[in-house]
Amino acid sequence: MTHTEKTIPVIIVGGGQAGLSMSWYLCREEVEHIVFEAKTACHAWDDERWDNFCLVTPNWQCALPGHPYMGKDPHGFMVKQEIIEYVEGFVDSFNPPLREHTAVTSITRHENGGYRVVAGNDVWHAEHVVIASGAYQDAVIPGYASAIDASIYQVHSQDYRNAAQLPDGAVLVVGSGQSGAQIVEDLFLEKRKVHLCVGSAPRVSRFYRGRDVVDWLADMQFYDLTVEKHPLRDGARDKTNHYVTGRNGGHDLDLRLFAKEGVGLHGTLKTIRDDVAQFAPDLTENLDDADKTNADIKKSIDAYITREGINAPEEAPYVPVWQPDGSNTTLDLKAAGITAIIWCIGFRPDYRWIDVPVFNGATKPVWRRGVTDAPGFYFLGLPWLHTWGSGRFSGVSRDAAWLASQITGKDVPVA
């Protein structure tokens, strides 16, 4: 097929909240551009979330450009349909040059400068390209999963919807990050027998000393901390998010309490062989580390309260309600009545379609505040692109405004 090359100043790849935030600023600055989206705008909120999904950050942190949260419950947590309506309202608030159902399949350097972008059946030449497709393309499921008895239903967290989707029987949830911990609660509330493989994810309390922990951390300017000033530097991007929930007004997710009430807790899953799950002997360590992270966050809040002279109610230290005995390192799936496994062990980014020298030896993109060493080539919407909020409703607007300033060569104020 012969392609007629088209020219446009800016191409944005990805029509989620990141790509559309970028489009919002470029529309305001009257910069000609186009947004390519392989599916539909912000589809992941509908297509890749379970029915009872809700935000884990309060509604007041929803601050897409020109579209702040205007509802009646700023300290509540939007449920799935409310999130969908919020992002749809953002798209409707301006007229983005969006092409849905148009996948970008190749990006290479153009011999005349800039980049050649193949999107659908068209070839484009653009001076600037913004990759806003996110870091969650390929769902991670281990290779040994294919050897598990076919009678055991397997699903990744992005395809889990509700307990009724699963066959009757017990469920093994693998991974204790935000998705895993919340799905365990979802199943537990439906009175399903659940086993959870507990990894190294940290936890955080929902409320402390009279306020949501997020409110405290915002006042402490934690969400303005840049990745360069984070103690872990770039390592912050590889850390698992703290597990907590906004369900029913928000509360702690205490895995020990789940165990006390009947959920089977196990260490990190090493493998499943002959339908026997084998766990690392690290359950106690993982639970203790998660609790320590939570305690350290509380200590930082205590110090802030003291330093600022704030009158806040005291709160007793957390006391673990359950302790493992350390002997539970195998589980016969059939004997335990397990009929389903939910893999909650994350995603891998897929950048195989990008042939531009912006990756390190581990095929990870390298940038500073989203700007790569390749002139006119940018990333947006990734975790800790610049701050904690970079991949979230709370911080993507600031990052998009910054990249708009790099494209236009002038200061672009944050909306």
Angle of the 17-28 helix axis to the 80-92 helix axis, nearest 10: 20
- Looking at residue 275, what DSSP letter applies? T
What pLDDT sits at residue 326?
73
In percent, the amount of the chain with pLDDT more than 70 equals 98
The CATH architecture one would assign to domain 139-343 is: 3-Layer(bba) Sandwich (3.50)
> How buried is 226 (Cβ within 10 angstroms: 0-12 exposed, 13-18 middle, 19+ buried)?
middle
Same fold, 5-137+349-408 and 139-343: yes
Among 68-77, 131-140, 211-220, the minimum mean pLDDT is found in 131-140
What pLDDT sits at residue 1?
43
Nearest 5 degrees, angle CA 17-CA 247-CA 92?
A: 25
At which residue do the structure tokens 């379970």 appear?
50
293 vs 177: CA distance, rounded Å? 14
Give the pLDDT confidence of 95-112 residue by residue, as tens digits: 999 999 999 999 999 999
Strands 104-109 and 138-139: unpaired
Of 167, 188, 148, 150, the residue nearest 277 (C-alpha): 148
SS3 60: helix
Of 362, 361, 365, the residue nearest 130 (C-alpha): 365
Beta partners for residue 342, in sequence order: 155, 173
Beta partners for residue 99, in sequence order: 36
User: For the chain, what's the residue count?
Assistant: 415
3-state percent helix, strand, coil for the chain, nearest multiple of 5: 30, 25, 45
334 vs 282: CA distance, rounded Å? 23
Strands 207-208 and 211-212: antiparallel
- Domains of the chain, by residue range, sit at 5-137+349-408, 139-343
266 vs 388: CA distance, rounded Å? 30
Query: What's the whole-number mean pLDDT along residues 42-60?
Result: 96
SS3 391: helix
Report CA Rg, the chain: 23
Task: Estimate to the nearest angstrom the gap between the alpha carbon of 170 and the chain centroid.
Answer: 27
Give the pLDDT confidence of 114-143 residue by residue, as tens digits: 999 999 999 999 999 999 998 778 999 999
Q: What is the CATH number of domain 5-137+349-408?
A: 3.50.50.60
Q: Are 399 and 390 in contact (CB under 8 A)?
A: yes
| pLDDT tier, 229 (very low <50, low <70, confident <90, very high otherwise) | confident
What pLDDT sits at residue 3?
63
| pLDDT tier, 360 (very low <50, low <70, confident <90, very high otherwise) | very high
Nearest 5 degrees, angle CA 172-CA 175-CA 176?
A: 110
Task: Estimate to the nearest angstrom the gap between the alpha carbon of 233 and the chain centroid.
Answer: 19
Strands 115-119 and 122-131: antiparallel
Beta partners for residue 10, in sequence order: 33, 128
148 vs 172: CA distance, rounded Å? 13
